[in-house]
Structure 1
Amino acid sequence: MKRQLIILLLLPACFAACRKTDTSRGPVPVPQEVPAFFPTPAANIDNPLTQEGIELGRRLFYDKRLSGLNQLSCASCHHPDLAFTDGVALSQIGASGLPLHRNAPALFNMAWNSNGFFWDGGSTNLESQAFAPLTSPDEMHQNLFQLIDELKAVPDYVRRFEEAFSDGEISTGNIARALAQFQRTLVSAGSRYDRYRRREEASLNAQELQGLQLVQQRCASCHDGELFTDNKYHNNGIDADFSNEDAEGIYQGRFRVTRNPADLGKFRTASLRNLLFTAPYMHDGRFATLQEVLDHYDHGVKESTTLDPQMRQRAGQAGIPLDNNEKQAIIKYLATLTDTAFARNPRFAAP
């Protein structure tokens, strides 16, 4: 695990040192989709979107050749109908058969994430993050040199890499770039809330509007804006003791990457979008329902030195006060953030 973390931290520098995509010839870049009210995402100068790259990335995402035993694809743990999660707390379908230490995160609106990937931000961009699941002995356990040989033996892939990248190479860098291009097209902005926001739907009902107001008052410090996440790392009080060094500090959150004691127990803020698809919740999937999540914030927050100040909404005491009616209103509102069209979009399905 430590070796993988070192590789992930070094990969951005490797990508920067690589020759940038030559856009003067080859595939023509296409614009990133930006829904109404969304902020403008950072430009991807080194890996611009192209139709050829996106389609290649989609095919790779669903191809079991990407795993060492040719039994798993990226989609094995990221199902489109579950907003690209897998519906379990800790998957154990990887090469080792052992339970993973982290819940499979949802994959949508990642073009707006410029503050690290994984629950602890162990990778700085979508391109480099691909190598962790690909090479992990507990996940896909792929030898990257063997993967290149496997893909080169497929004439369709040879043609598609030639069409997608100006150098035409089947390489680890281009594999990662194609996967990243596909994932940046996974845009979710078609929920009832979005239609209400764009005035395409008359209104939310009274209970849903109450929930919206409560989320804005009690939760927006972390789940803000149209993305419903600040893309930062917070200790939300699910644990109090971070001295356990099992799994090489993987339970210590952002601290595992920064080694800053102020980051102990801090994990990435998950978006509130598509929560009806993405249960169970938290970085280890410990909460099965939204009711359990809200009960935690109401009376289950644990004290620690790095607890986020926003977790102290009871006159400085740990917890966010919510009565049962308020919890139900929030749950009803969160349901309006469900994007069924996204989960059923044929552009994101297996080719």
Structure 2
Amino acid sequence: MKAYLLLAICVMSAAGQTSPALLAEKPGLLLSVAGDSHFLEIKDPGNRAWMLQSSSDLKAWADGPTHRVFNGVLRVPAAGADRKQFYRLNPELAQPLPSSAARALRLPATPFNYANPVFPPVFASQVGALDNQPADNVVTNTGATLGRVLFYDKRLSANQSTSCASCHQAEHGFADTRPLSVGFAGEKTHRNSMGLTNTRYHLGGKYLWDERAASLEVQVLMPIQDPIEMGTTLPIVVERLSAEPFYAELFTAAFGTAEINSTRISRALAQFIRSISSANTKLDIAQETNFANFTPQELLGREVFSNRCSTCHSNVNFTTIAPSKNGLELPIVDKGVGGVTGLTFDDGRFKVTTLRNVELTAPYMHDGRFKTLEEVVEFYNSGVEFVDGLGFPLPFFEKTRGGMNLTQAEKDGLVAFMKTLTDTSVTTDEKFSDPFRYQAE
């Protein structure tokens, strides 16, 4: 008996709910399908080609079309509700199938505008001074397009199960809802995944919570090689991408030739991440209208923020140049920057992240210990540990008041103000979404 393979099958009910009928990886497995509109779902991390065969009696098999999996999953339409049919996938009879960007990806004929985002006047007038693009890797439309594909491609992990987007999900501000993300083999990472909104406008030029990455170009290659996160090597990734013909098209468009190497992978990923920009918020509208659209609660929160929080979360991107110590714990368990520099003064210092889209990026802090913004505000109000090197103005409040001592109205206002920094267009914009085709045509 030849080895046939059906990895998964799903039946779509009339109500539009998908129920997994089977998840198996067994040779010679034959399955029937009946009911409303439904499909076969092929789960194949190896991204191979399969011929779909069908039978009504398990005796005579009719050859169907060849389907190619491009990023781990492919849904193939099955028989209608008036038929009962058996299916099997046969890799031995699969026909040659061209691998082109048009077949594998959902990309527009003209690349999206990544290079020159349009911002509101106030944001545009201030953000230029924060731009951290290096001269040798300025964002281009074709470079960011390539970076977008790489960002969602699971080939970048050891078992081809995990992509950058696995831990940086667009719908959550390119962050992760888990306190600690889960790597390619199911092991938890050491820290919470940062949101990627407005990475192009982070000051200081260093990345990751402990700022051990000297540039974004360096940082984007670190998860690929991390033994927990993606667990592979750059030569393996280069080999895999070189074996996929559509990447020759994308690298040529981005860099002029089809050569694939780790430097180009790094530059393309960095370009895409820098293109994830956010300035379509209630606050940005308010700054153009003298805050006419703000509620009294949001205005109160803005005042509290200005007096309590704006030292560390300053400028139009609500971040600052230097890492800071916020008194999260005593004794200090995670040394943060101190673990990199070896300096006691740096123990407990971490990169100050942007507050743009902070409503979307829960849970919070480097270890994801706080589930809500209310918990974060209460921590700064009454839970800060008085440690050496505490970031200003926290020492002032701790020494003189034993904390910020905000009223409940002020705490509620502060949360309301931070929610005015939300830009949901970033979570739905097609140019930041997964570009792979998962539905057979």
Instruction: Tell me the TM-score normalized by structure 1.
Output: 0.85
Q: 1:260 to 1:111 in 2, by over 3 A?
A: same
Equivalent residue letter for 1:50: T
Deviation track 1:255-292 (CA, whole Å, cap 9, x = no partner) reads 12222222110011122221221111001000111111
As a proportion of its length, which structure holds more helix?
1
> Aligned with 2:360: secondary structure?
coil
**Residues 205-255 of structure 1: per-residue CA shift (max 9 Å, x gap):** 11101101110111001011210111421111111223x5xxxxxx10111
CA contact (8 A) 1:279 1:285 kept: yes
Q: Partners in 1 of 2:349 and 2:245 — Cα distance?
A: 46
Match of 1:273 among 347, 356, 369: 356
Matches within 5 A, 1:218-229: 218-229=308-319
| 1:104 to 2:193 alignment | yes
Query: 1:65-76 residue pairs with structure 2 within 5 A?
Result: 65-76=155-166
- Tell me, yes or no, if the aligned pair for 2:180 and 2:191 is still in contact at 8 Å: yes
- Please tell me whether the aligned partners of residues 312 and 319 of structure 2 are also in contact (alpha carbons under 8 angstroms): yes
In structure 2, how many angstroms separate the alpha carbons of the residues matched to 1:85 and 1:112?
A: 17
Deviation string 1:294-337 (CA, Å, 9 cap, x unpaired) is 11111111121122231123362553221211000111111111
Q: Give the partner amino acid of 1:338.
A: T
Alignment pair present for 1:264 and 2:264: no
For residue 240 of structure 1, give the secondary structure of its aligned residue in structure 2.
coil
The aligned length equals 316
Query: What CA distance in whole angstroms lies between the structure 2 residues aligned with 1:123 and 1:201?
Result: 38
Give ranges in structure 1 of 5+ residues lacking alignment: 1-26, 245-250
- After TM superposition, the structure 1 = structure 2 runs for residues 299-310 of structure 1, keeping only pairs within 5 Å, are 299-310=382-393
Segments of 5+ residues of structure 2 without an aligned counterpart are: 1-110, 436-441
Is 1:113 the counterpart of 2:191 in the alignment?
A: no
- The normalised TM-score by structure 2 is 0.68
Q: Which residue pairs with 1:8 in the alignment? A: none
Select 2:300's aligned residue among 190, 210, 226: 210
Q: Cα RMSD over matched residues?
A: 2.0
Corresponding position of 1:336 = 420
Amino acid at match of 2:367: D
Percent identity, please: 37
User: C-alpha separation between the residues in 1 aligned to 2:240 and 2:154?
Assistant: 11
Shift of 1:166: 3.7
1:239-318 → structure 2 map (5 Å cutoff): 239-242=329-332, 244=333, 251-314=334-397, 316-317=399-400, 318=402
Shift of 1:61: 0.4
- Kindly indicate whether the alpha-carbon contact (under 8 Å) linking 1:148 and 1:170 is maintained by their aligned counterparts in 2: yes
Match status 1:195 vs 2:285? yes
Residue 31 of structure 1 deviates from its aligned partner by: 4.4
| d(CA) in 1 for partners of 2:118, 2:328 | 34
Pair 113,309 (structure 1): closer, same or farther in 2 beyond 3 Å = closer
Which of 265, 277, 300 matches 1:175? 265
Q: If you compute each CA radius of gyration, which structure gives the higher value, 1 or 2?
A: 2
Q: What is the one-letter code of the residue matched to 1:130? A: V
